Amino acid sequence: MTKPIDTGRRESLKKVLLGGAAFGALSSFEMKEEKPYELKGNVNHGVCHWCFRDYNLEDFCVEAKKIGIKGIDLIGPNNWHILKKHGLDSSMCNGAEISLTEGFGEVKYHGQLIKNYTEMIPKVAEAGYKNLICFSGNRRSMDDETGLKNCVQGLEKLIPLAEKHGVILQMELLNSRVNHKDYLCSKSAFGVELCKRLGSENFKLLYDIYHMQIDEGDLIRSIQENHQYFGHYHTAGNPGRNELDDTQEIYYPAVMKAIVASGFKGYVSHEFIPKSEDKMASLAQGVQICDV
């Protein structure tokens, strides 16, 4: 088991000053403890545990809470008890999907998906959670209109149950250019049209900032014009899906200001894979960069 990082460590540097006056000044000098970063409270920060697999979930919960994380994404029923133990939300539940490539875009998967989600939606509600992820699956040569009709056909059978239990089904937008070749719901326009056709507040989009930067860009305008259809956000640096620092091209403070200005009160969950050896320091940095 990987040991948690000692977040209490401090480095103190003192200069050796020569001369009586200087020595006197040094003798009365008091080292001050660095104050912990205080979150502004405008953003609910979550994180995806799969990006930090060096930590088991138990240890990760402990460390994530220290830097202001409120929820852990993509956790299924078998591990909800761990989140509850640490007072963390299951900010995006999973466990009903078949796979990223086999989704609502193909009718042949509807039977299994409807069974899975019919069983999972009440479990999510009973546990006190509200977000449940879903996927379009791959395109496999189908055009957008066929894909939309297929998705509606499957999802409309689940919307009444989701509404009854107060659960929001959230379809993730994934790029089809780099990471998920042939994924159907790879453009925000497709997802927004799907939301309009379903016409329910219990179906929204998981707007992954990293993925949408790759496939379409124009992030801030998309958020400003379509924020009512976005129920959750993911972050990561592009290119590489790593830290949110100045080694990548997305200026996260501006994107986050657009999200906050839209009135969004859900989760922004960090889904980057840290390159740094001190992975929790990278997560803390990401939280601070996005805490506008």
Domain of 257, CATH number, reads 3.20.20.150
DSSP annotation of 158: T
Question: Residue 64's pLDDT is what?
Answer: 97
Q: What is the pLDDT of residue 34?
A: 54
215 occurs within a structural domain: yes
Question: Is 46 domain-assigned?
Answer: yes
Whether 2 maps to a domain, the answer reads no
Answer yes or no: is 130 within a domain: yes
Q: Is residue 26 part of a domain?
A: no
Cβ atoms 175, 211 nearer than 8 A: yes
Range of the domain at 241: 40-290
In this structure, is residue 28 part of a structural domain?
Answer: no
pLDDT tens, 132-173? 999 999 999 999 999 999 999 999 999 999 999 999 999 999
Q: Residue 37: what pLDDT? A: 77
Structural domains of the chain, count: 1
pLDDT digits (tens, 9 = 90+) for 51-102: 999 999 999 999 999 999 999 999 999 999 999 999 999 999 999 999 999 9
Confidence label for 8 from pLDDT (cuts 50, 70 and 90): very low
Q: Is residue 6 part of a domain?
A: no
| b/e map 117-152, b = 16+ CB within 10 Å | beebbebbbeeebbbbbbbbbbbeeeeeeebbebbb
R_g (Cα) of the chain, nearest Å:
22
Residue with tokens 């000044």: 25
Residue 193 tokens, joined: 């049209």
Give domain status of residue 179, yes or no: yes
Percent of the chain with pLDDT over 70: 88
pTM (global) more than 0.85: yes
pLDDT at 291: 98
